Structure 1
């Protein structure tokens, strides 16, 4: 029986590229660069993580396929375009995640449950149509590799929506009303980097756990009942 090459955490960044993000494109680009460089600065930790970058608007564009950041020499670039289709990104992940997990296992790795970091500055423009693919994506009965989803909303994104997107209540965040949106986006990427580094370190120490850091200038998105 072949020896296991190691254990990996697949991580996906799903970033809103809709037109309303135009004024914050610099913050998006800077945050993405800080994430990639932060992982490169921790090669022992980066060895435990595989990172994909997806931009979504009317559709999904793969800005970086699932990659070992130690081997990536070009920063992925996000764009600004179109509307805000949540359904597009969840439908994409429904096919993408099982494929990626199979690929990693075929390469001889064990795989921890994937994690998705979701960032949006607005409400879904596809109404409630996103809820179907989202429900299928997070259903562990029918999709054993269903991911954990951490949802962060800035701008017009509502707390109740982020609470529905996230797979646990404590994984849903919205920026404080007083927060500058560009700064909040930068803090999202800073917290994302810290979460992946801490999760990778826990795996390296033989005590794997998903560490989720609340970004500065965000609060838990607890909706009313």
Structure 2
């Protein structure tokens, strides 16, 4: 609940970001829900996310929700119309998918959707890495849940947003990310 407002604040200092960055938040536990719909940075108002102390981790449902939101909200480029930037996805989880079959199907579907980048973050000691590697080769790990680690992660996310903007409908094959801070471990 500290990192997202800090990331928004950093982007609000960049004139280019004010014109081009939009945020959406999907939360998931026993179900997935669009917590904040796709909103321009200048209009984005964050509300604290209440994290349940126990329950499922329906990551497949979250990815299905993501695909529905992208289909609804992201305009694709074509010969006559300039589209939106390709979406960047930052998935955070503290567990492994409770809906493994749905997760596997969603991973197959999402890989063909043309996202600008997908970065998965395993948070805490119970978060699995293997299922995240099925989704993306950009998997990071935060072993501690302290504010320094989260601040470092969201600062890195901000730099990733700045470096990861490419137009929707265009796949130029480049996907470079800035190096992560020391508290973030790349999972190889």
Where on the TM-score scale, by shorter chain, does this alignment land: which range? 0.7 to 0.9
Q: Please give the residue correspondences for 1:1-225 in structure 2 after superposition, counting only pairs within 5 Å.
A: 29-72=1-44, 74-81=45-52, 82-102=55-75, 109-139=82-112, 143=113, 145-146=114-115, 148-155=117-124, 156-166=126-136, 169=137, 171-175=138-142, 179-182=143-146, 183-199=148-164, 210-213=175-178, 214-222=180-188
Distance 2:122 2:111 in 1: 19
What is the aligned residue count? 176
Distance 2:163 2:110 in 1: 25
Q: 1:216 to 1:119 in 2, by over 3 A?
A: farther
Distance 2:175 2:40 in 1: 18
Q: 1:52 to 1:215 in 2, by over 3 A?
A: farther
Query: What is the Cα-based RMSD across aligned positions, in Å?
Result: 2.7
Distance 2:22 2:82 in 1: 12
Alpha-carbon deviation of 1:31? 0.7
Residue pair 1:122, 1:157 contacting (<8 A) in 2 also: yes
Distance 1:122 1:35 in 2: 24
Which structure 2 residue ranges, 5 or more long, are not aligned?
none
Alpha-carbon deviation of 1:153? 0.7
Alpha-carbon deviation of 1:46? 2.8
Partner-residue secondary structure (3-state), 1:137: helix
**If the length of structure 1 is used for normalisation, what is the TM-score?**
0.67
Q: 1:146 to 1:196 in 2, by over 3 A?
A: closer
Q: Corresponding residue for 1:14?
A: none
Residue pair 2:63, 2:103 contacting (<8 A) in 1 also: yes
Q: Which has the higher helix share?
A: 1
Alpha-carbon deviation of 1:109? 4.2
Distance 1:89 1:104 in 2: 25
Which structure 1 residue ranges, 5 or more long, are not aligned?
1-28
Q: 1:89 to 1:104 in 2, by over 3 A?
A: farther
